[in-house]
Chains A and B, each alone.
Chain A
Amino acid sequence: MSTDELPAPLERILAAMLRHGTSLASSVIALGLGVAVPYAAAGMRIAALGIALFIALPVARVVAMMVFFARSRDYRFSGIAALVLAIITFSFLVGAR
């Protein structure tokens, strides 16, 4: 019994997702801060989008895991990933209330 039994792609999918996602979110924030020098309000709105992207990135990673486990017919772990998603969603809703 080892994690080696997982079909290898999951590690690679997650690594690529997190790397590109980090670049994207950071670029959007950098753009926003740049724009903010002459146009403060517009720049901050762009930067806020970058921040939202950063919060969404780990959530997207959990979604990817949920889908991957479901496709591997590992419904127990797919369910566990769904539970983590539900908790994060609940946390967001509690904050928004």
Chain B
Amino acid sequence: MSPGLELWLFAVALATSVLGGVLGMASGIFIVPVLTVFGRIDIHTAVGASLISVIACSCASAAPFLREKLTNIRLAILLETATTSGALCGVFVAGVIPTAYLYFVFAAILLLSAQQMMSRRTESIVTQNAGSSRWTALRLDGAGYSVQRLPLGMALMYGAGIISALLGIGSGVLKIPAMDTALRLPIKVSSATSNFMIGVTAAAGAAAYFARGEIVTSVAAPIALGSVIGAVLGARLLMRVPGEKLRLMFVGILLLLAMQMILTALGIRLFGAAA
């Protein structure tokens, strides 16, 4: 393994992680497309490395949210039963699904992310019916909100877990709408709680990949390191960068990557090996 490739992997992770941090979204979604399309790395290797990056980013950024008490810990552990079960299922599916389908599913998730990035998240109108929540015995409610439609939320989280283990992403793209619209959490709470859960969800998938020997150290190590450093830098830049142009640029990148993933699924490659 050449040090050149490792430097390139490190740089890719650093750049996507900084940009992801600036936009307040997970960068995991960029790692697999970039590695497979430009690095011509096997998609299973890319997914394994990306899962490690997702864990690293989640752990690196969790502390401030916890200290501000934005993270709903009780809700997180409850929903994690669903996301880890989903991840277990995703691990099975990843073992049997033809690679071309994997690219198609990834393209669909990229398009969904682009769409989500265009439509701004709106605060769900919280009807304060304190006490009328059916889940009071679980003591899930936080300051100023009560958790709604828990079974629907759990079902969506199961789906998010499958996608996470299958594609090596945090599935924030599925978790956040589940929390905003099904559970009716305030935006900051759902972002913090989703970020907190992503680490455990990815660990459930990564544990199986690791045991299978599908996590290639020379690929995953530089990616993980770049992601952590990028996440720390990105969080500091968060407030300083003008958002709108960057968002549009990102939507453009997501669309391009989606297109490229579809082409790859069909066996057409536009790019040679970059590294």
The size class of the interface chain B forms with chain A is: 35 or more
**A58 contacts B228, C-beta separation under 8 Å:** no
Judge whether A12 is part of the interface by a CB distance below 8 angstroms. yes
Q: Which residues of B contact A51 (CB under 8 A)?
A: 52, 210, 215, 217, 220-221, 224
Segment at the A interface, from B15-23, B79-87, B120-128:
B79-87
Main secondary structure of the interface of B (DSSP, over half): helix
Instruction: Write the A1-20 contact mask toward B (1 if CB under 8 angstroms, else 0).
Output: 11111100011101110110
**A15 contacts B67, C-beta separation under 8 Å:** yes
Segment at the A interface, from B25-33, B110-118, B200-208, B258-266:
B200-208
Instruction: Write the B52-91 contact mask toward A (1 if CB under 8 angstroms, else 0).
Output: 1001101110111011010111100110110011011001
Main secondary structure of the interface of A (DSSP, over half): helix
**Bound Cα distance from A59 to B77, whole angstroms:** 12
Q: Which residues of A contact B63 (CB under 8 A)?
A: 15-16, 18-19
Q: Which residues of B contact A56 (CB under 8 A)?
A: 203
Select B55's contact among A3, A6, A32, A57, beta carbons within 8 Å: A57
The size class of the interface chain A forms with chain B is: 35 or more
**A94 contacts B208, C-beta separation under 8 Å:** yes
Q: Which residues of A contact B55 (CB under 8 A)?
A: 54-55, 57-58
**B141 contacts A54, C-beta separation under 8 Å:** no
Can you list 9 A-B contacts with CB-CB less than 8 angstroms, sorted by A residue number? A3-B141, A33-B6, A50-B221, A55-B203, A61-B199, A65-B77, A77-B74, A84-B81, A95-B91
Interface residues of A (CB under 8 A from B): 1-6, 10-12, 14-16, 18-19, 21-22, 25-26, 29-30, 32-33, 36-37, 40, 44, 47-48, 50-52, 54-59, 61-62, 65, 76-77, 80-81, 83-84, 87-96
